[in-house]
């Protein structure tokens, strides 16, 4: 194969590949030296595996996205990242790709079409799906390539991502870098099939196993696949055999690896082999090889010194807080005066439909959302109007679809992902809290994804279809959490959430869907995120609440006509509207925080603490909380009734008034 390739591959390409292959090795040698000198803190070595990163990257076009892992330095160098900036990243300097906020290879760069990993490994496989989906939808003849180790193939995300890619025929090359060990775990304890590539037919995709230490085999295989996939989009699984020649990371040693393996694989070193091949074919001389090394070492040494000369990063709290969210340019447009009576469910459907019309780049994804219209019928009729490319039924896999949402965003699109029930978000939690939420702060990449969350109890649906889980997300910097209580708000806030370039968790109480209706403005309008709403003014007692709590508060107030209630609907739970909370507290001096979520760790505790700390002097009584019981949500009606906060609301109000 190599001999035949030589005829079709020019010497200059062969020599270019040689430089590309050497560069990560020489950088690593320098890093290991610096590590021994105590000048850097941690290093994950890819020595012996460079042919895979370099061969794959060189085979793609520069504007095709690659998603590397912790041993893929060769991806970054082949894409020609400025070395001083790369080293500044390793040093945690302001000039690095994450401004000191994340370490080593945990970063991406749009300029170089690289999406870096998060520590959790598997999640980026699904991000690749999203990028590839964008290529498909935009009819771009492009391929996306993502890496995983053999350890990562045991993760659920591997299965989800490959299955989605296959069902949707996405142009993704999944490269498994099989280096024998996952930390200390040998392949015999990682999987039972003969080869990982054997799984490909199970997913309905092609699979190819290649020698990952043979640069030209990697380069020609991936070049050929990329060419073919650009013409005929589809996923392919490529297993590259290689070996991890050093410890998992430098401090962790290699005691558990039999010495013979190092000896055996040492002879298969990709640089040794490639240089031998070039010499045998008269393309490289000893002198030439020496010269290349010297030049590269000079470049590396200069860049290292430049990075070390940079001052340590200095924290500025406003700047750190200011980078949590992408600046939002949501144009708050005023509602029209013509209205139509809509139920909560109709208003959400209307908001979503208008958003799909307004943003041609918006895609709706979820289980059964297309022909079936979603289990709550929010997207009924959408398939006819927008087509199956934009209204996408998904396989049963929350994580891969949420990851694909980030991928779409990276490729300049927007998505709404429907959880069939808010409870099922637990299957996609890593994508939300680690990937979507942190992307902007880490490397300036926004996640333009709205996750719709049909939530709440009161329908006898038991512990797995009734949970209030908004507090899982209000504790996650980088997310916005929106929770409307009325049809008109639901429509305007959903439109605003979709306009907002940040990830938004959008909670919809299922028991409100068909129980409340009101006149809702027609047409496209958005309401500001982060602004609470005064449902009614009053003087005796303040109820701060949201979602179903607003209905409960209104009912309680209606049943006590002699008491004057101030009711504040928070509408957005993250970020909170502290000014509105302050006004609500000062209006009466008696504050009850009400939510359907359970008590311990609920948002009420946070708001109560804020009031105690900042508004103590405005209080005439202790802040009281009324929340659901600290149990899972029970099924039988009498149990559910006593679980819910509303069963204790009247009593709590009376206690507060009496104080």
Ligand X SMILES: Cc1ncc(C[n+]2csc(CCOP(=O)(O)OP(=O)(O)O)c2C)c(N)n1
Q: Which residue ranges make up the site for ligand X (CB under 6 A)?
A: 71, 119-121, 149-152, 179, 181-183, 244, 248
**Token pair of 350 as six digits:** 């209307």
Rg (CA), the chain: 28
CB of 150 to ligand X, least distance (A): 5
In the complex, the smallest distance separating the C-beta of residue 156 from ligand X, rounded to whole angstroms, is: 10
Contact assessment for residue 634 and residue 583, using Cβ atoms and an 8 Å cutoff: no
Nearer to ligand X, 179 or 241 (CB): 179
Give which of 67, 59, 170 is closest to 113, Cα–Cα.
67
The residue with tokens 């809509």 is: 342
User: Judged by CB, which is closer to ligand X: 149, or 484?
Assistant: 149
Closer of 11 and 119 to ligand X (Cβ):
119
Query: Please, which residue, 179 or 221, has the CB nearer to ligand X?
Result: 179
Nearest residue (CB) to ligand X, 27 versus 461: 27
Adjacent-strand bridge partners of 591: 542
* Cβ distance to ligand X smaller for residue 106 or 142: 106
DSSP 3-state of 430: helix
Q: Which residues, including other chains, have CB under 8 Å from residue 371's CB and lie 6 or more apart?
A: 383, 393
Q: What contacts 502, CB < 8 A, 6 or more positions away?
A: 325, 326, 328, 440, 446, 447, 448, 478, 479, 480
Residues whose CB falls within 8 Å of the CB of residue 154, separated by 6 or more in sequence, listed in order: 182, 190, 191
CA distance 6 to 216: 9
CA dist 437 → 69, 128, 472, 494, 505 (Å): 20, 17, 12, 19, 10
Which CB atom, from 19 or from 268, has the smaller least distance to ligand X? 268
For the bound state, the minimum distance from the C-beta of residue 652 to ligand X, rounded and expressed in Å, comes to 42
Q: What is the rounded (10 degree) CA torsion for 466, 434, 71, 191?
A: -10
CA dist 356 and 365 (Å) reads 12
Catalytic annotation present for 248? no
Q: Would you say the C-alpha torsion 124, 130, 135, 141 has a positive or negative sign?
A: positive
Shortest separation between residue 151's beta carbon and ligand X, angstroms: 3
Give min distance, CB of 244 to ligand X, in A: 6
Q: Kindly list the strands in the beta sheet with 541-545, ordered across the sheet, starting from the edge strand earlier in the chain.
A: 533-536, 565-569, 541-545, 591-598, 624-628
Nearest distance in Å: CB 313, ligand X: 24
Write out the H or E segment, with its range, that includes residue 144. Answer: strand 144-149
Cα gap 319→326, rounded to integer Å = 12
**Cα separation, 235 vs 175, whole angstroms:** 11
Among all residues, whose Cβ is closest to ligand X? 149
Which residue in 113, 159, 440, 465 is the catalytic one? Answer: 465
Compare residues 152 and 407 and give the one whose CB is closer to ligand X: 152
CA 477 to chain CA centroid, nearest Å: 13
d(C-alpha 332, C-alpha 616), whole Å: 34
Cβ 374 to ligand X shortest distance, Å: 31
Tokens of 237: 């699984």
Residue 271: phi, psi to the nearest 5? -75, -45
Residue 153 beta carbon to ligand X: minimum distance, rounded to whole angstroms: 7
Active site amino acids: 465
């Amino acid at each position: 194969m190599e001999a035949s390739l030589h005829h079709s591959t020019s010497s200059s390409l062969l020599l270019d590949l040689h430089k590309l292959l050497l560069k990560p090795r020489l950088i690593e040698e320098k890093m290991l030296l610096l590590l021994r000198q105590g000048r850097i803190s941690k290093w994950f070595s890819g020595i012996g595996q460079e042919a895979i990163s370099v061969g794959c990257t060189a085979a793609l076009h520069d504007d095709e996205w690659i998603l590397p892992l912790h041993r893929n330095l060769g991806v970054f160098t082949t894409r020609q990242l400025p070395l001083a900036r790369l080293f500044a990243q390793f040093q945690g300097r302001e000039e690095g790709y994450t401004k000191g906020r994340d370490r080593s290879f945990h970063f991406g760069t749009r300029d170089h079409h690289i999406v870096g990993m998060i520590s959790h490994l598997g999640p980026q496989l699904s991000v690749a799906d999203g990028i590839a989906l964008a290529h498909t939808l935009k009819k771009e003849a492009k391929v996306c390539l993502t890496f995983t180790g053999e350890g990562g193939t045991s993760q659920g995300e591997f299965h989800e991502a490959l299955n989605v890619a296959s069902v949707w025929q996405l142009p993704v090359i999944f490269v498994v870098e099989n280096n024998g060990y996952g930390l200390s775990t040998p392949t015999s304890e990682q999987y039972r099939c003969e080869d990982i590539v054997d799984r490909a037919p199970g997913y309905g995709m092609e699979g190819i196993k290649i020698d990952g230490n043979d640069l030209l085999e990697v380069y020609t295989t991936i070049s050929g696949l990329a060419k073919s996939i650009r013409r005929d989009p589809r996923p392919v699984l490529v297993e590259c055999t290689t070996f991890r020649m050093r410890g998992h990371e430098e401090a962790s040693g290699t005691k558990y690896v039999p010495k013979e393996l190092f000896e055996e694989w040492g002879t298969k070193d990709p640089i040794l082999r490639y240089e031998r091949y070039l010499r045998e074919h008269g393309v490289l001389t000893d002198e030439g090889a020496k010269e290349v090394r010297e030049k590269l070492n000079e470049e590396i040494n200069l860049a290292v010194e430049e990075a070390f000369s940079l001052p340590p990063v200095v924290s500025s709290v406003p700047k750190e807080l200011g980078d949590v969210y992408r600046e939002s340019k949501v144009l708050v447009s005023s509602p029209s005066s013509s209205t139509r009576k809509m139920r909560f469910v109709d208003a959400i459907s209307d908001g979503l439909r208008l958003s799909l019309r307004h943003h041609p780049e918006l895609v709706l994804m979820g289980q059964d959302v297309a022909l079936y219209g979603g289990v709550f019928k929010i997207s009924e009729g959408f398939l006819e109007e927008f087509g199956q490319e934009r209204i996408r039924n998904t396989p049963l896999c929350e994580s891969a679809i949420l990851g694909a949402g980030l991928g779409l965003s990276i490729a300049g699109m927007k998505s709404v992902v429907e959880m069939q029930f808010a409870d099922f978000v637990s299957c996609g939690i890593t994508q939300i809290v680690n990937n979507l939420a942190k992307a902007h702060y880490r490397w300036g990449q926004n996640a333009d994804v709205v996750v719709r969350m049909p939530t709440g109890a009161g329908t006898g649906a038991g512990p797995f279809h009734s949970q209030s889980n908004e507090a899982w997300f209000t504790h996650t910097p980088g997310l916005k959490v929106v929770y409307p209580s009325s049809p008109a708000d639901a429509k305007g806030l959903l439109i605003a959430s979709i306009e907002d370039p940040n990830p938004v968790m959008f909670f919809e109480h299922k028991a409100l869907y068909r129980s409340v209706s009101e006149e809702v403005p027609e047409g496209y309008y958005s309401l500001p995120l982060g602004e609470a709403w005064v449902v009614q003014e009053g003087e005796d007692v303040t109820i701060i609440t949201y979602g179903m709590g607003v209905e409960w508060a209104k009912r309680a107030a209606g049943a006590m006509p002699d008491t004057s209630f101030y009711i504040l609907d928070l509408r957005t739970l993250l970020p909170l509207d502290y000014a509105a909370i302050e006004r609500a507290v000062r209006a009466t001096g008696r504050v009850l925080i009400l939510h359907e979520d359970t008590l311990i760790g609920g948002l009420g505790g946070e708001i109560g603490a804020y009031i105690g700390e900042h508004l103590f002097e405005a209080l005439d009584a202790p802040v009281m909380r009324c929340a659901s019981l600290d149990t899972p949500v029970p099924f039988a009606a009498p149990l559910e009734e006593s679980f819910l906060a509303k069963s204790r609301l009247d009593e709590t109000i009376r206690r507060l008034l009496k104080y």
